[in-house]
Amino acid sequence: MSGSLGRAAAALLRWGRGGGLWSPGVRTAGSGAGGGGGSGSTEHLDALVKKDKVVVFLKGTPEQPQCGFSNAVVQILRLHGVRDYAAYNVLDDPDLRQGIKDYSNWPTIPQVYLNGEFVGGCDILLQMHQNGDLVEELKKLGVRSALLGEDKDQDSK
């Protein structure tokens, strides 16, 4: 099992150009109204992770990830055809970078949140992708994974 995991992981961690034809809604944290707390505060982060169904904190952007693990997250979401997600670049904001680690009590970036709930980092997302859990979780959010293929509504004779 570890063999295939290694191969798949290696493929995803390879530096790719990432994205291309689409651009997910890259939001900048910390911008917008409301001064209290700052970009690393619990309230602010709480709002960020709940604002969108799929939220990721990355090093870099989906178009240009600055780290292999962040890139892996971007590629997995792309494989599933998830286009509409919030991606926050922690390299832009040191308060955010530290704040999100405190918020989730998780020491590393990337971090993936589904429906406001912390799911894990790149290893966990990769595992979920490989064992089919990610398709299920996306389904629960009302997001249909591209890997499910065509709708089976057609008549078959």
Partner 1 sequence: LWQLPLRCARRTFASQTEGELRVTQILREKFPRATAIKVTDISGGCGAMYEIKIESEDFKEKRTVQQHQMVNQALKEEIKEMHGLRIFTSVPRH
The site for partner 1 (CB under 8 A) is made up of 2, 5, 9, 67, 69, 105-108, 118-121, 123-124, 127
Dihedral sign of CA atoms 87, 89, 93, 98 in order: positive
- List Cβ neighbours of 133 (8 Å cut-off, separation of 6 or more): 127
For partner 1, the closer of residues 65 and 121 by Cβ is 121
Rank residues 84 and 117 by Cβ distance to partner 1 and give the closer one: 117
Answer for the pair 85, 55: CB distance below 8 angstroms, yes or no: yes
Q: Contact, 29 vs 88, CB < 8 A?
A: yes
Residue 84 or 136 having the CB closest to partner 1: 136
Residue 120 beta carbon to partner 1: minimum distance, rounded to whole angstroms: 4
In the sheet with 111-114, reading across from the earlier edge strand, the strands are 86-89, 54-58, 111-114, 117-120
Which CB sits closer to partner 1, 81 or 120?
A: 120
Provide the minimum distance between the beta carbon of 156 and partner 1 in the complex, in angstroms, as a whole number: 38
CA atoms within 13 A on the CB side of 44: 21
For the bound state, the minimum distance from the C-beta of residue 111 to partner 1, rounded and expressed in Å, comes to 10
Q: Considering the complex, what minimum distance in angstroms separates the CB of residue 149 from partner 1?
A: 26
Kindly give, in sequence order, each residue whose CB lies less than 8 Å from that of residue 9, ignoring residues fewer than 6 positions away. Answer: 72, 123, 126
CB closer to partner 1, 15 vs 35: 15
Q: Please state the closest distance from residue 148 (CB atom) to partner 1, in A.
A: 23
